[in-house]
Amino acid sequence: MSLSLLPQFVRDHYEVHEWKHACAILERDFHNEWNDVIAVLTAFRLKKSWIT
């Protein structure tokens, strides 16, 4: 399953759903965009205290 291409941090902190091997396509054919998505998901934080 191509979800294994995602870093463990992303799999642990986000609910991820695969659709038509999108991870594999992004990682293989759009490598720069894939790296951008991974970088954003890894760096992004939304704390409950910021909302409440």
Residue 39 confidence (pLDDT)? 97
Give the total number of structural domains in the chain: 1
Residue 1 confidence (pLDDT)? 57
Q: Is 21 left (phi over 0), alpha (psi -120 to 50) or beta?
A: left
Residue 42 confidence (pLDDT)? 95
Instruction: Tell me which residue range forms the domain holding 18.
Output: 2-51
Residue 3 confidence (pLDDT)? 87
Residue 13 confidence (pLDDT)? 92
Q: What is the largest CA-CA distance in the chain?
A: 40
| pLDDT 10s digits, 1-51 | 588 999 999 999 999 998 899 999 999 999 999 999 999 999 999 899 999
